[in-house]
Amino acid sequence: MKARVFVTLKNGVLDPQGKAIGHALNGLGFSSVGDVRQGKVIDIDLHESDAGKARAALNEMCQKLLANTVIEKYEIELKA
């Protein structure tokens, strides 16, 4: 089973990198670009066929290492 974990800053946490990307896009002429937030994608191969168990393990991984829940939130996507 494959998993994709998205780690992004919580709403309300200032994202200076996202802001800089937004400014750069505006500078390139993409005038429709408003707020930009950036984050991380982590792809994980899992030796696990039970989706429930996989999700539980991934949740724990996010809590313990992949995300700093003081400032970040995460989403887990599973692919068979």
Where do contacts with other proteins occur on this chain (CB under 8 A)? Answer: 13-14, 16-17, 20, 65-66, 68, 70-71
Amino acid at 7: V
Taking the C-alpha atoms of residue 7 and residue 75, their distance in angstroms, rounded to an integer, is: 7
Taking the C-alpha atoms of residue 42 and residue 22, their distance in angstroms, rounded to an integer, is: 23
Q: Which of 56, 57, 58, 48 is nearest to 80 (CA)?
A: 48
Is 54 or 62 the residue whose CB approaches other proteins more closely? 62
Is 18 or 33 the residue whose CB approaches other proteins more closely? 18
Q: Whole-number minimum distance, CB 17 to other proteins, in Å?
A: 6
Is 13 or 51 the residue whose CB approaches other proteins more closely? 13
